[in-house]
Structure 1
Amino acid sequence: MAMVLLATLFSLLLATQFNVGACTGSKNIFILAGQSNMAGRGGVSGGKWDGNVPPECQRKSSIVRLSAQLRWEQAHEPLHADIDVGKTCGVGPGMAFANEVLRARGSGFGVLGLVPCAVGGTRIGEWARGTRLYNELVRRATESVRDGGVIRAVLWYQGESDTVNRVDAEGYKGNFERLVMDLRCDLKNPNLPVIQVALASGEGQFVDVVRKGQLDVKLGNVKCVDAKGLHLKEDHLHLTPYLRSTWGSS
């Protein structure tokens, strides 16, 4: 399935590109941010989620999430249901990522904490420093470590809404780099790892322009997973939760 392939790529990058060890005494925390493909639309049709949870996305006692009320609870799909409240959420990459990390790292990795922050239909300008979404991301990230734990990385999947307007598309690289630098400053973590996704789809005609900006980012400790070729739902925008993909084809 597209979600699992994406989650596996996230996990592989984490293991090979970043020095991320286990924090066995408390939580290993990952921030999930961006728009609808991070929030999860897998299994959603006609405004309803079908309730199907793939085996790779099942809940585990060692995977927790920070709720909208800033309380840690056992993580489960739909991971963003109380965060991206304007739309119906379904399966996203977060739970598959968490399960893959635990599978690869073993039981010694400790508790894995997910902090869902993604909101569908948002442009990157809506995540700029000082905006509601940015402030909420920083607030939730800060709260996540209040009782211990380490933020291991930010997983960022966004940009589909920036493909509509050429100005937005051409400005994507600079806006993303500024966002990363601002987050590192405000979270007091100058080397915070960030894994972004290069788009597989978009709402407009400038997908390739946004993709070029994403692939051209050269900031330290920022890596990119390319989603091009992952199978999309019939809306040609959102990743499918089912086992069908052309990822890796030329």
Structure 2
Amino acid sequence: MTHHGPTRSIAARSGFWLHRGLARVQGAILILIISLGAPGAVLADTQPPSAPGSLQGIRYSSTAGEILWTAATDDTFVVGYRVVRNGQSLGLRDAQSVYEPALDPGQAYTYRVSAVDRHGNEGAALVVQIAAQRGIRNTGVPAADTGDDGADASADASGGQTGGDSGGDQGSDQGSDTSAGSTGGVADGNLILYRSKKRATLVEGDAEGVSISLSVHRLKADKRAVTLSLVADTERDMLGLRHVFSSKVLASGESRATLNLALDVGVAPLMLHVRHFRIVADDGVSKAEKSLVIDVTPTAAPDVYLLIGQSNMEGYSEVGSRERYPGGQDERVERIRQLNVQPNSPAIFNRDELFTDEAANTKSPIFVPAEDPLHEPRYIGVDGKGATFVGLGLTFAKEASRASTANIYLVPAAWGATGFCANANGNIAWNAAPTSEDFLGGTLLTERALTRLNMTLRETGGVLRGILWHQGGADSNNAGCAATYADNLAKLVRRLRREARVDVRGREARGDEATIPFLLATQSKGDDERGRYSIFHDSKLQVDAAQRSIRSYVAYSDFVNNDDLVPPQYPCGQSSCVHFGADALREQGRRFYAAIQGIWGELGAYHY
């Protein structure tokens, strides 16, 4: 059994035990097992879910299509739907559709969909085909019970052409099929190249990768050494890809080699997509080529984002501005989750050691669907949160979810009226290390943020995708704090990047200059009857300049310009225009995501 996620037993604070396991059994099904009860108790359930109520396959264009289905039923509950495309698993999906933006033109694809309940029971499957021609809608039918994960599904679905996942050159194991010559002919009739697969699925982050067996057949007595290479159709197809030949050069007496491909988890999320390559055999005189198509499946590891700063990151919009209702701008989305944090209160965090105590930082359950205000907890037995104002984090996550197949976990760690500067609460500040400067505060908020982040990375197996910072006001009223703001901010970023728990990207993705995007936002310039904030005094101008020049002293960073988010178009938030209103904060969520996309693009991420 190869594990693809954390398997653990956690004693929940409510007195129940929660057992969660994510595993892939010999590359087959991803199973989620949950049991509630006393330690050691097992709830017997052998009843599988029903088949999905209906299944449709639609071809929208030459390269885009979608399958959609209605919900299955179960005597407990359905945790997800197993989706198989052309015999290759796409994992367990908690949605009821799969959108395919990168289909091969003129190629049909066959899908098998079945429901899985919380005890791992899998129901009957339906199969359907996305046709090769645009505008065609197919209806799913019951799958034949062949046990081959849908490899026979073309006959069940419509009898049309399928995608052909792994068919190799006929006779490649023997190297005797002379009809399987090189693409475009053989240069001088000397070389024929065979490969065991012409199409394969590669899972991002799978260390084993995918292996292709190769065989070179020499037709002439002059058996020269043959050099093997992999050539991508575009430079983009090589991004993040590692490929190794077991023998890069085949000596005159050698004819076989293996090509292994693996795809490291990158700085940015991936979508399902296809990459095109050519395997080339060259003896210096003759050359043979074979095409290779790789279907890339993104890692199942969730995307994690850290939210830090002061009140505008917490969200101090107008009271009553939250639109949580169905269809509202702040509606919950099931695949966007959050750490269920304790409220910011000196009464709760009344000792320094509590800032790094996981139990003191969270409520049970420790993860809940993300809901504004993110920095307020959700209580067991209560549907939703009582406060009715919003921040920017949920809108940001909704934007991010459009370009990721993974769940998203937000880690709220901001605290209002805090910065690097000393304040009435003493050590409740954002410094990276203790300092002798009396105008600067302590390090407790930095340590609390790392505690919450590392807890989330550990428990979810997630990938740290970015750090969002909204702060500045608390350091704008002291000349010493303003003068040292850029230096203190750089130290903070270095520590967060260095001490964040290692995730599936590996140790090379940690360190002072690690490729973890850091984004910040400028302060409000709003004016209304409660006060004017459009004119910055000298210290505030110094902080503002440090924020706008962040790219000059912090690698992989950018800032969000909020100068235009002012009344009357964007009303201010609670207490005064130091706080942004709901519309402005939602717009900032969108701008934060645009900024992180820019950094991902600069880093050469595949989809940006």
Q: Report the TM-score, using the length of structure 1 for normalisation.
A: 0.78
Q: Does 1:221 align with 2:556?
A: yes
Does the C-alpha gap of structure 1 residues 142 and 120 become closer, same or farther in structure 2, counting only changes over 3 Å? same
Task: Name the structure where helix makes up a greater proportion of residues.
Answer: 1
Q: CA deviation at 1:82?
A: 3.7
Whether 2:334 is the aligned partner of 1:61: answer: yes
Q: Output one character per residue of 1:166-199: Cα deviation in whole Å (capped at 9) or x when no partner.
A: 2211211111011111111112622221111122
Query: What secondary structure does 2:458 align onto?
Result: coil
User: Once the 2 structures are TM-superposed, how far is the Cα of residue 99 of structure 1 from its aligned partner?
Assistant: 1.1
Letter in 1 for 2:546: G
Q: State how far apart, in whole Å, the 2-side matches of 1:59 and 1:80 are.
A: 15
The amino acid that maps onto 2:330 is C
Aligned to 1:72: 367
The one-letter amino acid of 2:559's match is C
**How many pairs are equivalent?**
218
Are residue 198 (structure 1) and residue 522 (structure 2) matched?
A: yes
| One-letter amino acid of the structure 2 residue matched with residue 93 of structure 1 | L
Alignment-mate amino acid for residue 20 of structure 1:
A
Partner of 2:3: none
Taking only aligned residues, the RMSD between alpha carbons, in angstroms, comes to 2.8
Q: Is the 8 A contact 2:391 2:586 kept in 1?
A: no
Q: Provide the identity percentage.
A: 26
> Which amino acid letter does the alignment assign opposite residue 59 of structure 1?
R
1:132 aligns with 2:467: no
| Stretches of structure 1 lacking an aligned partner (at least 5 in a row) | 1-17, 45-49
Larger radius of gyration: 2
Aligned AA (2:431): A
Q: Greater strand percent: which structure?
A: 2
Structure-2 separation of matches of 1:195 and 1:64: 21
Name the SS for the 1:124 alignment partner: coil
Letter in 1 for 2:540: V
Aligned to 2:408: 112
Matched to 1:80, the amino acid is H
> Are the structure 2 counterparts of residues 245 and 56 from structure 1 closer, same or farther at C-alpha, using a change threshold of 3 Å?
closer
Aligned in 2, Cα 1:51/1:162: closer, same or farther, shift over 3 Å? Answer: same
Find the partner of 1:172 among 479, 485, 489: 485
How big is each residue's C-alpha offset from its partner over 1:125-171, in whole Å with a ceiling of 9 and x where there is no partner? 41112521111101111111113010100000011111111221121
Displacement of 1:243: 6.9
User: Which residue pairs with 1:20 in the alignment?
Assistant: 268
Structure 2 unaligned spans of 5+: 1-265, 271-297, 342-361, 379-386, 422-428, 434-442, 503-509, 526-532, 567-571, 589-608
Whose RCO is larger (CA < 8 A, sep 6+)? 1
Letter of the structure 2 residue corresponding to residue 110 of structure 1: A
Within 1, Cα distance between the matches of 2:336 and 2:559?
A: 24
Higher mean Cα deviation, 227-236 or 155-164?
227-236
**Secondary structure in structure 2 of the residue aligned to 1:224:** strand
Within the alignment, does 1:185 sit opposite 2:522 as a pair? no
Name the counterpart of 1:99. Answer: 398
Post-superposition offset of 1:19: 4.5
Give the distance between the partners of 2:496 and 2:318, measured in 1 at CA: 32
